[in-house]
Amino acid sequence: MHRTLTEHARCIYGDEFGPTPPCEAQHHEHFFVEELTFADADSILAMLHALAPNLADGNLPVWILNLSYRLALLQRPDDPALLREAADSLWLHGPDWDARAEGMKRRAEELEAD
């Protein structure tokens, strides 16, 4: 069994920055997504920072990155640093999300101005 969300993600997707530890658990993506869905924001951010520390690298699929940031933001909607980080991630994945990323950056600025 995996002790952390990061370990679970590392077993499923690998780790560009280090070896994937040996593991005897069954690795089904839907089990990971279920764990991610109910993870706290700190666990989600720890996973993102460990497996995609520079936003543009790592082995996590884009849809997992987007879902992870969305779930963290649902728990911390007024965190300017998290809004910016999530917006920066969206910018890297094509123009479809540029308007959303701009809105997130504006929201971060508004929060800091208050």
Q: What percent of the chain has pLDDT over 90?
A: 73
Report how far residue 78's alpha carbon sits from residue 69's, in angstroms, rounded to the nearest whole number. 13
Cβ neighbours for 34, distance < 8 A, ≥ 6 positions apart: none
Question: Residue 2: its pLDDT value, please?
Answer: 85
- Return mean pLDDT, the chain: 93
Q: Which residues contact 103 (CB under 8 A, 6 or more apart)?
A: none
Q: What is the pLDDT of residues 57-107, one digit of tens each?
A: 889 999 999 999 999 999 999 999 999 999 999 998 878 999 999 999 999
For 17-37, letters b (16+ CB in 10 Å) and e give: eeeeeeeeeeeeeeebeeebe
The domain ranges of the chain are 5-113
Provide the whole-model pTM: 0.92
**Given pLDDT bands bounded at 50, 70 and 90, which one contains residue 30?**
very high
The Cα 47–Cα 9 span in angstroms is 7
Q: What is the pLDDT of residues 68-79, one digit of tens each?
A: 999 999 999 999
Mean pLDDT, residues 5-13: 93
